[in-house]
Amino acid sequence: MRFIMARHPQTVANTEGRLVGVTNSPYSSEGEKQAEALIKYLSYGSYDEILSSPIRRACHIGEMVSQNLSVELNIVEWLREINFGEYEGVAHKDFIEMGVDIDDYRENLLHFRYPGGQTWNEFYEDRKQYVDAIKEEDKTCLFTAHGGVIWAMTTALLNYPLDTIRQPVLSNAGVIVVEYKDGFGKLVSLTEIEEIKSQVL
């Protein structure tokens, strides 16, 4: 399968450094511009299937590309972002006031449990099973999702060790393409939003 994975545009929460996973945050003014460019860019493509997270910041992109290309949009629950639990909406700068040991948090990020939510390791293992179930299919699919989801998908497809968490890093409204064939994944391209803007605006 050819996986074309697009991260949602910048949100207000992104600009404020807040953790927003399963809840939504509207686009910032810059995010609105990114959305316009990303939709145009993705609408030049050809896809057998378009799949999207149900969360609005990602789903809007899938909906618009689906309409432009007359390709059915499939809303997929497993493309939701990680659940930050009680930390949803909390800014990193507020962690110390909440009693979080920042050094421990950074060193053990994969296994840190967000109260009432998930660990990154749990999140990865869950998403990996869905990727494994479809990766050998002979098709080209567009996925509109979130940074954490795309990290998990890319890590699983390229067989990266988990200690490379969040690598490669995909910025807001960026697009990463991975080709999986005959048991191996290959990173085809990583296109950031500034390059996308230069091509379509």
Tell me the average pLDDT of the chain: 95
Which amino acid, one-letter code, is at 42?
L
Query: What is the residue-wise DSSP string for 58-106?
Result: HHHHHHHHHHHHT--EEE-GGGSPP--GGGTT-BGGGTGGGT--HHHHH
Average pLDDT estimate for 180-187: 97
Which domains are seen in the chain, by residue range?
A: 2-200 (3.40.50.1240)
Tell me: pLDDT of 101 over 70: yes
- The answer to whether the CB of 73 falls within 8 A of the CB of 60 is no
Which amino acid, one-letter code, is at 59?
C
The span from the CA of 161 to the CA of 155, in Å, is: 7
Which amino acid, one-letter code, is at 5?
M
The CA-based angle 189-191-197, given to 5 degrees, is 150
Alpha-carbon distances, residue 124 vs 36, 104, 149, 183, 186 (angstroms): 30, 20, 8, 19, 19
Contacts with 125 (C-beta within 8 Å, 6 or more apart), sequence order: none
Residue 117: helix, strand or coil by DSSP? coil
> Greatest CA separation found in the chain?
50
Instruction: Give percent of the chain with pLDDT exceeding 90.
Output: 88
Per residue in 110-165, pLDDT tens? 999 999 999 999 999 999 999 999 999 999 999 999 999 999 999 999 999 887 66
Q: How confident is the model at residue 64 (pLDDT cuts 50, 70, 90)?
A: very high
The CA-based angle 189-154-117, given to 5 degrees, is 140
Q: pTM for the full model?
A: 0.96
Per residue in 4-37, pLDDT tens? 999 999 999 999 999 999 999 999 999 999 999 9
